[in-house]
Amino acid sequence: MAKRRRIDRPGSKPKRRKKPKPREELLQPMADLLKAAYTFERQLFDGVRTGEKSNYRPAKKYDGKVDYDGETPVLVNKNAWVDTVKALQADGIDPVDYVHKVFFMLLHRPNPAASAPTPAQLLSTQFRKFYKQAKTMALEEIKKRFESERRLAKTHVMAKQSVNELTMQDATEEVLLDEDIDLSPLFRYCLARSMKTPEFADLATRFFLQRAVLQYVRASSDYGEVYGEWIPDDFRRSAKVEYNDLIS
């Protein structure tokens, strides 16, 4: 059967096919997110290591640079963020999750590293090993921490009920707002939400939401496995959006 030819109407211009975007351009949004996550984690890490607030910003050379020889583009520096995203996605790894776990290991190793990796060092053998180790270590740490926090919170609530003759709700509120009790932001947030009252929901949002998001996104699947239904569905759905807003 003969193939029909397209006939353009008089005066109309033939439609041109759009050129496909280069792969680097398609990867740029994730590369920007990776850069923001790395910068945020690096600031937290440097702050813990030095005891002072860090204003770290990655050097511009890691963004890549192209000069021109006449009309011919000449690559001066490769974009480290795009290259890292490309390599990690080829291995089926979420780049932002990778950064979270690398810095988790840096802070939780028996002999903590003296300095963080530069953006160009993220793909080194050492930090790929960190990522694999963190996948197991993070889950075990979260399990131990969660059981410890449950016992600690229960003990303090019961003590306040007994000694101060408080109701369950009042005792729980005092425990939630007592920063001297070693409870993580995510645990405090989930405990407040579990009380299922508008007052406690407001308390959770005002005092714990941002820090709970920062804690959760570092190991969302692990926290989901350990905390289970105790993590509210709306929190799970919005956590990544909240995190992106915080680091942008």
How does pLDDT run across 111-136, given as a tens digit for each residue? 555 688 999 999 999 999 989 888 78
> Looking at per-residue confidence, does 25 or 224 come out higher?
224
- Tokens 């890691």 locate to 62
- Tokens 């709700």 locate to 169
Q: How many C-beta atoms lie closer than 10 Å to residue 179's C-beta?
A: 9
Residues 6+ apart with CB under 8 A from 236: 220, 224
Which pLDDT belongs to residue 73? 57
Contact 168, 161 (CB under 8 A): yes
Q: pLDDT tens-digit profile of 159-209? A: 999 998 999 999 999 999 999 999 999 999 999 999 999 999 999 999 999
